Amino acid sequence: TIPEWAVGDEYANGYGASKWASEVLLREAHEHHGVPVAVFRSDMILAHPRWRGQVNLPDVFTRLIWSVLTTGLAPASFVRRGHDGERQRSHYDGLPADFTAAAIDGIGAALSEGHRTFNVVNPHDDDVSLDTFVDWLREDGHDIERVEDHAEWVDRFRAALGSLPDADRARSVLPLMHAFASPEEPHAGSAIPADAFAEAVRAVRPLGASEIPSLDRALITKVADDLAFLGLLAPTRVAVR
């Protein structure tokens, strides 16, 4: 529990503050009035794996995928390299929209008392990362150049996105580039525990699943297909470099 929230101008501070304040109100409702509460703290909620065109365009994940596909530029690795320059294992913490919704619905319906908190995250140390997504997109035939030097990639990526029309720049990852200005540290699964969520998933089996799923290639392929379906990415679009 976080006793207080420091307001700042960093990315998503206001969003985080609103979620924190909501949890404070819910805890007080439970403690003072006995209201049963189930809090679900979700990380990235990704596209629906089956419904065509159902993708969250403004989120950072979709912005990044669209920007990489549009410019045809990706870093050699989004993750800090190893001592010998090798690509390191890492993990992207996200879950498909349908599983997230079904899990929250099923777990919430099964609780009728108390105050419970669930971290709705993908805890697997599965080596499925942003680098893996680029691998899959390249294997799908998308023209993506991997730039060895991260700083060079940032410069070329910014320049390519900055040369796009206003509407395209607005849907790109440009406003959030500070998050990718340097390689991230490798992650072995989620940074927060998911034991309670995993146990609840096994109990209610959302969508028939007894375990939290890993992200797969089919979902990433569908995100690119959704962008083309929505008219935001031509199937054979020439990359802007």
On whether residue 240 sits in a domain, the answer given is no
Contact 214, 132 (CB under 8 A): no
Residue pLDDT, tens place only, 129-151: 999 999 999 999 999 999 999 99
The answer to whether residue 81 sits within a structural domain is yes
Residue 137 lies in a domain: yes
In a domain, 236, yes or no: no
Q: State how many domains the chain has.
A: 2
211 and 99 co-located in one domain: yes
Residues 123 and 191 in one domain: yes
Residue 237 has pLDDT above 80, yes or no: no
Residues 95 and 1 grouped into a single domain: no
**47 and 139 within one domain:** yes
pLDDT, average across residues 65-94: 93
Query: What is the CATH classification number for the domain harbouring 211?
Result: 3.40.50.720
Q: What is the pTM of this model?
A: 0.89
pLDDT confidence of residue 1: 61
Both 7 and 117 in one domain: the answer is no
pLDDT in tens, 169-186: 999 999 999 999 999 999
Does residue 239 lie within any of the structural domains?
Answer: no
Q: Are residues 111 and 137 in the same domain?
A: yes
Instruction: Please report whether residue 207 resides in a domain.
Output: yes
For residue 235, is it within any domain? no
Residues 65 and 155 in one domain: yes
* pLDDT classification of 3: cutoffs 50, 70, 90: confident
Which residues are CB-neighbours of 223 under 8 A, at least 6 positions away? 46, 47, 55, 62, 65
Residue 60's nearest CA partner among 146, 179, 201 is 179
The verdict on residue 118 lying in a domain is yes
| pLDDT above 90 for 100 | yes
* Structure confidence at residue 5 (pLDDT): 73
- pLDDT confidence tier of residue 238, bands split at 50, 70 and 90: very low
- The string over 86-113, giving b where at least 16 C-beta atoms fall within 10 Å of a residue's C-beta and e elsewhere, is ebbebbbbbbbbbbbebbbebbbeeeee
Range of the domain at 30: 1-35
The rounded distance, in Å, linking the Cα atoms of 174 and 183 is 16
